[in-house]
Chain A
Amino acid sequence: MAPLDHGKRDGAAPGGAEDPSAPAAPARFLKAIYVYEVPVRLWHWVNALAITVLAVTGYLIGSPLPSMPGEASANYLMGYIRFAHFAAGYIFAIGFLGRLYWAFAGNHHAKQLFRFPFWDGHWWGELFLEARWYLFLERKPKLYVGHNPLAQFAMFWTIAVGSVFMIVTGFALYGEGAGVDSWQDRLFGWVIPLFGQSQDVHTWHHLGMWVIILFVMVHVYAAVREDIMSRQSIISTMVSGVRTFKDAEAPADEPEPKAAKPASPKALEPAG
């Protein structure tokens, strides 16, 4: 199996601390590989928190809570909700920029989120194989050190492209309040007439939230399910950074060990 997301094994280890098996060991036993470096993991959880805050406060900005009693001077509920939304938005945007930087500075797994190998027929083949696995048409999924092609597809479109969409429309809307002389308006104000008018941008920004919510639902479900049912670790990998494998077959995105497969053929065939 040709590697999908890289050809060199040494990329899998962080800055210098090397995969001891690197070029010379032919019969490597893939058991645990360091995949997600600290900035990637940190970004993942910060981003998850930011998205949660953004979705909740964003929904409440669109459909506010029941009216507050008392005098206006004694309340500032919408103000606080909007502040939380803007603060989380800044964290989301800055985090995204940091993550984009790390795609260049980090290991090759860090680039995967931003790649969409449209011209790679082999990649599409594996994507459909993965889709068939989710449709219960395949007995066994392939092993991946990084993201499987289906996950990469979903992440590229909703997290890489989707985040840019939400950041651009978000700052355009923020610029409306910040005023025509603000940097937000100068940088992103062109978005408003592009969509037609302000209300259209609000509507699309709102729809973008739902797309990300759908992604989160599928993402969390798939991560939990894969953690239980597939042959590699998923959830703990985003905590510790290490991908562990439950059987000894080489992942589809790593070169196969040269030696014969250590497991017996029987173990690879599902019983039944």
Chain B
Amino acid sequence: MAALETFYEVMRRQGITRRSFLKYCSLTAAALGLGPELVPQIVHAMETKPRTPVLWLHGLECTCCSESFIRSAHPLVKDVVLSMISLDYDDTLMAAAGHQAEAILDEVMEKYKGNYILAVEGNPPLNQDGMSCIIGGKPFLDQLRKVSRDAKAIISWGSCASFGCVQAARPNPTRATPVHEVITDKPIIKVPGCPPIAEVMTGVITYMLTFDRIPELDRQGRPKMFYSQRIHDKCYRRPHFDAGQFVEAFDDEGARKGHCLYKVGCKGPTTYNACSTVRWNEGTSFPIQAGHGCIGCSEDGFWDKGSWYARLSDFHQFGIEANADQVGATAAIGVGGVIAAHAAVSALKRAQHKGDV
């Protein structure tokens, strides 16, 4: 393992010209939303800082985060993996396997004690002593606890690590638990999404390596630069929402005209993510642009909020599943009936005792 090589040295060694390197730094600055005056800072950091080792663990997950990550265009994921970070352990991307692979974990933990970043994709199940997820013959829970002990910071990739996602959905038989509820003594950056946007993932990593600090986080521990606005706030269909022009059904005139998908259950107004600005696959499109509402995949517990085609969550407290409107209207009809009956009895009583008061 190339121990304390800087980013720049690694890039030069790979035959990247200084000109390309500078271009790359400018692009990175642009991707992070930084002004051109910060480019020299990035250049300086790349030239002087040793590459930071990143250990990427996989728990209960579907690898969609990795699939998304390798499609990053700005910066290209090859630049991130080969030049910026030292991705020393990622069992789906690395060449090594078996004991050889597991040995790298111990080596990095020892050599870069307190100085490596732990990226977690997926989450640990806690039931049955964590037996529902075994890595290298041991529960993932043990691996997570061990590797997190000397980590500088933890990145929770995706909704699994951040909030639990599908494996933690009701009734959650394995008790899949988000990372921040298991590891409580480390700074944790949540990058939710199922999967998160590729550029958001590489952007978060680039920021952390460039400025050697974790990005500013919101109340729920998500980087503000990507998660401070709702899909709805920057949606290109927003004018149709304000105008009151909706898709009423997926094959109607409104759908063809690209009207707002609010009435067919778009979760854009309650979902914090960068899809409507960064978009997907090199900015090609995102779900709403493709004509389907947002399903709110980067929100806590999005599997358990009822239909993806309804704007109101279901309550489960009543035995049956019902949303606020159904509960409220039923109660209003019930109370209305009681009032009518009560009024009738009152009138009868009054007729009986006419003249009392």
Take A206-B324, A209-B328, A210-B331 as given contacts and tell me if A75 and B300 are in contact as well, using a CB distance cutoff of 8 Å: no
**How far, in angstroms, from A107 to B270 measured CA to CA in the complex?**
44
Residues of B close to A262: CB separation below 8 A:
none
Answer whether residue A66 sits at the interface, using C-beta atoms and an 8 A cutoff.
yes
Stretch with Cβ within 8 A of B (4 or more), from A14-22, A91-99, A150-158, A196-204:
A196-204
Chain A 206-220 interface residues, beta-carbon cutoff 8 Å to B: 206-207, 209-211, 213-214, 217-218
**How far, in angstroms, from A246 to B296 measured CA to CA in the complex?**
60
A272 (CB) vs chain B CBs: closest residue:
B353
Stretch with Cβ within 8 A of A (4 or more), from B7-15, B193-201, B243-251:
B243-251
Residues of A close to B300: CB separation below 8 A:
196-197
Stretch with Cβ within 8 A of B (4 or more), from A116-124, A159-167, A173-181, A233-241:
A173-181
Q: How far is the CB of A83 from chain B (nearest CB, A)?
A: 10
Please report whether the interface of chain A is mostly helix, strand, loop or mixed according to DSSP: helix
Candidates A65, A198, A246; contact of B271 at CB < 8 Å: A198
**How far, in angstroms, from A206 to B336 measured CA to CA in the complex?**
19
Take A63-B325, A193-B220, A196-B301 as given contacts and tell me if A272 and B296 are in contact as well, using a CB distance cutoff of 8 Å: no
Q: How far is the CB of B277 from chain A (nearest CB, A)?
A: 14
A218 touches B335 (CB 8 A): yes
For B, the interface residue count at a CB cutoff of 8 angstroms equals: 59
Answer whether residue A149 sits at the interface, using C-beta atoms and an 8 A cutoff.
no
Answer whether residue B229 sits at the interface, using C-beta atoms and an 8 A cutoff.
yes
The list of the 7 closest CB pairs from A to B, nearest first, reads A210-B328, A77-B244, A75-B243, A198-B270, A206-B324, A199-B270, A203-B313
With A67-B247, A203-B324, A207-B327 given, name 17 new contacts (CB 8 A).
A68-B245, A72-B245, A77-B243, A78-B241, A82-B242, A193-B219, A197-B299, A199-B270, A206-B324, A210-B327, A213-B332, A214-B331, A217-B339, A225-B346, A228-B350, A229-B357, A246-B357
The residues of B with any CB-CB pair to A shorter than 8 Å are 218-220, 224, 228-230, 233, 239-248, 254, 259, 262-263, 267, 269-272, 296, 299-302, 305, 311-313, 315, 323-325, 327-329, 331-332, 335-336, 339, 342-343, 345-346, 349-350, 352-353, 355-357
The residues of A with any CB-CB pair to B shorter than 8 Å are 62-68, 72-79, 81-82, 134, 136, 140, 176-177, 179-180, 189-190, 192-193, 196-200, 202-204, 206-207, 209-211, 213-214, 217-218, 221, 225, 228-231, 246-247, 270-272
Selected A-B contacts with CB under 8 Å, 26 pairs: A62-B325, A64-B262, A67-B244, A67-B245, A67-B254, A72-B240, A76-B244, A79-B242, A134-B342, A136-B345, A180-B218, A180-B224, A192-B219, A197-B270, A202-B312, A203-B312, A207-B328, A213-B328, A214-B331, A229-B350, A229-B357, A230-B357, A246-B357, A270-B356, A271-B355, A271-B356
